[in-house]
Amino acid sequence: MQPSNFTTLQPSNKNGYLLVINGKPEGPYNLAQLKSLNVRASDFVKTPAMDDYKEAHEVAELRELLGLKQQPVIPQYFGSFDQRLLASVLDWLVVAGACIIVALIIVLFTDDKATRIVIAFSLLVIVPIAKLIYHVIMESSAKQATFGKQVLRIKVCDMEGERISFGHAIGRNLAKIFSVLTLFVGYLFAFFNKQQQCLHDMIAGTLVMKDRLF
């Protein structure tokens, strides 16, 4: 993974871009140095502000500077079953915890015992609905991930690695009904395909991808 017409340059002392050359990060280089290195669209770069490496064409600043055309990034690294399971556990804790706190606050201001019981049992319905809304909003957001997925550094995307729409996120999460109706066997589909898709991912045409690591 070496830039074309590569010539040796001393890295800049300023914060700039790390550039992957022959499989190893070099730099940081400033914009002028990157231009002289003839960086290609497929070369990997990273700044201190980035969570992980990106191909040069994915960075708007570099597209403008180097005249690169943005290309679709086909996902190659996918969230494993254990990552997805742990993310789901974290998300259940986040959503259930928030709902319980709200319920407790309401109960503190309610003297009627019957009302308190109704509030307690209503959590059995409210928590799953809240979790559905939470997933739809977070997975269609710029982060493309719930808090649990963000911790595990995985995110939801379409088959070309792009952010899914709000409607697409609704479809994906409603499709989880089929994964559950198969006695959760639908979730085990992830073990039997290269893209590690669960049944609901296959139905919705989505992937759970993870960041590239070097």
pLDDT digits (tens, 9 = 90+) for 160-191: 888 999 999 999 999 999 999 999 999 999 99
Statement to judge: residues 115 and 170 lie in one domain:
yes
Statement to judge: residues 136 and 177 lie in one domain:
yes
- Residues 135, 149 contacting (CB under 8 angstroms): no
* pLDDT class of 214 with cuts at 50, 70, 90: very low
Q: What is the pLDDT of residue 117?
A: 93
Q: Which residues pair with 156 in a beta bridge?
A: 208
Cβ contacts of 196 within 8 Å, gap of 6 or more = 78, 79, 80, 81, 190, 208
Statement to judge: residues 122 and 37 lie in one domain:
no
Q: What is the pLDDT of residue 121?
A: 94
Statement to judge: residues 86 and 42 lie in one domain:
no
Q: How many separate domains does the chain show?
A: 2
What are the structure tokens assigned to 14, written together? 């300023």
Domain assignment of residue 59, given as a range = 17-66
Type of residue found at 149: K
* Helix axes 113-139 and 166-174, enclosed angle (nearest 10): 120
